[in-house]
Structure formats: structure tokens, C-alpha cells
């Protein structure tokens, strides 16, 4: 199985690259942000709770997202592999994911981090906010809060995978194709080992 963690701050381009990855490698895309937005549009209780936190730019509790991922892994038992996008976002989530995959006889192949500087991120998120209608992209204060959450809680997740020898980073600025080529180079290096 090819199980990738696509990593990077809000606006780094994880969603765009995930789409290309699932096509090329026939993987299942698991974006906790998309799953949560699905809960919101279906008006579920979970969605109502999550919306308050998401609109404020803070993380949803670990148990909630871990439960969602566990359900999705169970629902896709025949998958070739997964692209985890926006998950794990805390060390606890990363530990839980290792355990979930281990219980299925599988593991993370690697984390691929997209590097984009702060100024470019702000620009991309504000322009996405104009088109996507995502309330958390439209407000500069909420964007700053998300980046703060990322720096304090999510950035340390990179060390978790570094310590397992599973971390690679690539430049997230360039054309979609250039960045995708960088990602496929990393994936090819897994197979070479």
C-alpha cells in the first residue's frame, strides 16, 4: 500500500496535489477538512459543533477527527492506499494513525511537506476566500489564527515522521506540474529502497 501524508500550512496546495496523486496512483483521498465541511453541509450534530471551531480557525478535537479517519479506513478496506490531507494535525493524531494502520497490517509510507512562505500563503488564502466561499479563508484574522495553530500544534508533527525516517520536503512554489513532479520523485525514492 502507498499511504502518503501530505503536509504543509493552510494554502500550501495540499488539495490540488492530492487530486493529482489519487488519479496517478489510484489512491483514496482523505481530507479531514473536506469531511468536516461535508458534515456541516449535511447539518449533522458533529458538523454544527465543528463549524464554530473551524470558523474561528482553531482545531477540532483529536477524538473527533481520529474517529472520522477510522471510519473511512474501515469503509475503504480494498484501497491501494490513501492520501492523508490535513491529517494528522497533532502528535496525538499521528500516533493514533500509526496505531490504526498497524492494526490493519499497514503503515505510513512517508510524509511529503510542501514548503511555502508566510506571505505567499496569506495571498493564496485570501484569493481562495473570494472564490470558494469558505468563511475561514475570507477573514485575515482567522487566517492568522490558523497559521498560528499550524505553527504551534501541527508543525511538530513533521518531527514525528522525521524520527521515523519518513520525512521529505519539497518547494511548494512553482507550477502545479513542477510541484507534482517533485512529489512523484519522492514516491519513486520509496520504491527504490
Measured CA to CA, the distance from residue 172 to residue 56 in angstroms comes to 26
Is residue 172 part of the contact set for ligand ADP (CB under 6 A)?
no
Is residue 112 part of the contact set for ligand ADP (CB under 6 A)?
no
C-beta separation of 99 from 90 below 8 A: no
Q: Residue 114 CB, nearest distance to ligand ADP (Å)?
A: 11
Contact with ligand ADP (CB under 6 A) among 7, 17, 18, 33: 33
No. of H helices and E strands in the chain? 10, 5
Kindly tell me which of 150 and 180 has the beta carbon lying closer to ligand ADP. 150
Chain positions 113 to 152 lying near ligand ADP, rule: CB under 6 A, are: 136, 146
Q: Residue 191 CB, nearest distance to ligand ADP (Å)?
A: 28
Measured CA to CA, the distance from residue 2 to residue 166 in angstroms comes to 13
Contact with ligand ADP (CB under 6 A) among 54, 97, 111, 113: 54
What's the farthest any 2 CA atoms get from each other in the chain?
A: 46
Q: Which of 138, 9, 3, 24 has its CA nearest to residue 72?
A: 3
**Residue ranges that bind ligand ADP, judged by CB under 6 A:** 10-11, 32-33, 36, 53-54, 57-60, 65, 86-87, 89, 93, 136, 146
Amino acid at each position: 500500500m502507498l499511504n502518503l501524508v501530505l503536509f504543509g500550512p493552510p494554502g500550501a496546495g495540499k488539495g490540488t496535489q492530492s487530486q493529482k496523486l489519487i488519479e496517478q496512483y489510484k489512491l483514496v483521498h482523505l481530507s479531514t477538512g473536506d469531511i468536516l465541511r461535508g458534515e456541516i453541509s449535511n447539518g449533522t450534530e458533529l458538523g454544527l459543533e465543528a463549524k464554530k471551531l473551524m470558523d474561528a480557525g482553531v482545531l477540532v478535537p483529536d477524538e473527533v477527527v481520529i474517529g472520522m479517519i477510522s471510519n473511512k479506513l474501515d469503509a475503504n478496506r480494498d484501497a491501494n492506499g490513501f492520501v492523508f490531507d490535513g491529517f494528522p494535525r497533532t502528535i496525538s493524531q499521528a500516533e493514533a494513525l500509526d496505531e490504526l494502520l498497524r492494526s490493519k497490517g499497514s503503515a505510513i509510507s512517508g510524509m511529503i511537506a510542501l514548503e511555502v512562505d508566510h506571505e505567499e500563503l496569506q495571498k493564496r488564502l485570501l484569493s481562495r476566500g473570494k472564490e470558494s466561499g469558505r468563511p475561514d479563508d475570507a477573514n485575515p484574522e482567522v487566517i492568522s489564527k490558523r497559521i498560528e495553530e499550524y505553527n504551534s500544534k501541527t508543525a511538530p508533527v513533521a518531527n514525528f515522521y522525521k524520527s521515523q525516517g519518513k520525512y521529505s520536503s519539497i518547494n511548494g512554489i512553482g507550477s502545479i506540474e513542477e510541484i507534482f513532479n517533485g512529489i512523484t520523485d519522492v514516491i519513486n525514492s520509496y520504491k527504490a529502497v
